[in-house]
Amino acid sequence: MMNDATTSPEPVHDDAWGADVDAQEPEAKAPEPEAREAEEAAAQADEAEAAEEPRYSLDELARLSGLPTRTIRHYQSEKLLPAPEREGRTARYRDIHRERLALIGRLQDRGLSLKAIRDVLRRVDKGKLDLEEWLGIGEQLERPWTEDRPQLLDEDELAERLEGHRPGLTAELVEHGLLQANETLPPTYLVASPGLLDIALRLESAGVDVTTSAEALERMRKHVRKAAEDVVEHVVDRAGQGFGQDPEQVTEALDALPEPTLDAVRLVFTREMERALRSSSERLGTALGKRRSERDDDG
């Protein structure tokens, strides 16, 4: 027997949202008049500022930046510059283009190719790179690790530096590049590395002639240069993994790098010199005996 009582229907739900059909979302409120007026005022201010900003022709931009027009066109073709505005058939540039050209020059001074500069600028424009932090790291990489700087000596200063050494030494130092004689009146001498000159003089006082010490220093320079390049390549490859999760950590690591690196070079090279000398002791004795025999025969 059927129940004559009617039952209330269950509320219908929207399957997609799980909400009652009758429960409508409140409509988004229109911006308050004050907020709308503030937005319009800000937009008008931006337009006014843009209208007041100077605009330049290509020739004017070239004159202001100190670059040839063909260079600016080349940078545009390489997508290093934002597109200029157009007034009919005339291109118009703004201060952003001047700033970008100056930035390209800074990056070129750091040895970057145009392709590398384009990649850097693209990452900056996308917000993936803080340029000032990146440039700060670059400046830190260029910071010298030593105070050994070229010096210019006159004859009296050179004589004081070589006091107590044998005659003819100046010519040998010039021959091996430890001194560079300038044809001036009065004569002057350029010392590319005062530190290496001092090392050569100390060795000369110990009985090691300039030819031997200068050639040994050059061999050392070649091998150390290759070792330095290998180590730097390894460290760069490890950046973001073994250290330097962010620019601040990279800066801290670079600050700490010189002292332990120089200590490591001194320690490793000293041990390798000890090993090489021990293994060469027999050859050294044989060579000395041969020279002594040759002198006896000449006598």
Task: Quote the pLDDT of residue 1.
Answer: 43
CATH class entry, domain 58-129: mainly alpha
The rounded Cα 276 to chain-centroid distance in angstroms is 36
Q: Which of 53-57, 73-77, 175-179, 199-203 is predicted with the least confidence, judged by mean pLDDT? A: 53-57
Task: Read off the pLDDT of residues 196-223 as tens digits, 9 standing for 90 and up.
Answer: 999 999 999 999 999 999 999 999 999 9
Rounded Cα gap, residues 91 and 125, in angstroms: 22
Which range among 12-16, 238-242, 243-247 has the greatest average pLDDT?
Answer: 238-242
Q: Does the pLDDT at position 101 exceed 50?
A: yes
Task: Read off the pLDDT of residues 121-143 as tens digits, 9 standing for 90 and up.
Answer: 887 888 766 676 666 666 666 67
Task: Quote the pLDDT of residue 247.
Answer: 65
| Range 95-109 burial, b when 16+ CB lie within 10 A, else e | eebbebbebbeebee
Task: Read off the pLDDT of residues 167-196 as tens digits, 9 standing for 90 and up.
Answer: 999 999 999 999 999 887 788 999 999 999
**Opening angle at CA 292, ends 170 and 209, nearest 5:** 15
pLDDT band at 281 (very low <50, low <70, confident <90, very high): confident
> In the predicted model, what is the mean pLDDT of residues 260-278?
92
Rounded Cα gap, residues 135 and 108, in angstroms: 12
In the chain, where the domains are located = 58-129, 151-272
